[in-house]
A and B are shown apart, each in its own frame.
Chain A
């Protein structure tokens, strides 16, 4: 099961999901109306590297992080 982290203001506990790639995660979240508003502005990291490809294969040890817009300083 891959782990999904919801960072910063997303404020949700992590979950574990049985997925083979990010395209399946996109489908998994499809009915989550509250999260959909965030997903349009969230970046995605796999094992702490930002990604932009839904077809990257995932394995059960992988960590997926959702990152809302940032503002340090």
Chain B
């Protein structure tokens, strides 16, 4: 299940809804990860652009991997501005087995950081500044660069 929200995530509401959704499905483990925007380097918060078609494809491929291990993935992410000390990202894995879920949440979040088509900006004095240095190039980058 993938949810996109405008602005900061309402963590308590989202986690409560997810727990209500999965608690009677006989999963033994529910492992959530909540990302919170930190106050650092003078930023007021972060801002995000998302390309939904490829994000959906990426997420659905992960859901198939989870299904193969009898697990299920849930994810919520913000669009637009998210101020410091609020959440922009929640991911969770539910699984009959704790060890499967613990490994999968780590692998899923790592792959999310590297491959999900989301662009991050720092909010500085009301402006969006692309977080280029913290971003990851995708596979095949440079294909259209002119030959030297």
Contact = CB atoms under 8 A, between A and B. Distances in A.
B112 A72 contact: yes
A67 B35 CA distance: 24
Contacts of A45: 54
A5 to B, nearest CB: 8
B147 to A, nearest CB: 8
Contacts of A68: 119, 130, 132, 135
B113 interface: yes
**Does more than half of chain A's interface fall in helix, strand or loop, or is it mixed?**
mixed
A23 B54 CA distance: 23
Given A8-B49, A67-B117, A42 B130 contact: no
Contacts of A48: 53-54, 57
A58 interface: no
Contacts of A49: 57
Nearest to A52: B140
B144 A71 contact: no
**Does more than half of chain B's interface fall in helix, strand or loop, or is it mixed?**
mixed
Contact of A41 (B112, B137, B146): B137
Interface string B130-147: 111011111111111110
B137 A39 contact: no
A72 B140 contact: no
Contacts of B142: 39-42
A7 interface: yes
The 9 nearest A-B residue pairs measured at CB: A8-B119, A72-B118, A69-B135, A43-B138, A52-B140, A9-B130, A71-B120, A71-B135, A73-B89
Interface of B: 35, 48-51, 53-54, 57, 77, 88-89, 109, 112-121, 130-132, 134-146
21 contacts: A8-B117, A9-B121, A9-B130, A25-B144, A26-B144, A26-B146, A39-B142, A40-B141, A43-B137, A43-B138, A43-B141, A45-B54, A48-B57, A52-B139, A52-B140, A67-B51, A68-B132, A69-B137, A72-B118, A73-B88, A73-B113
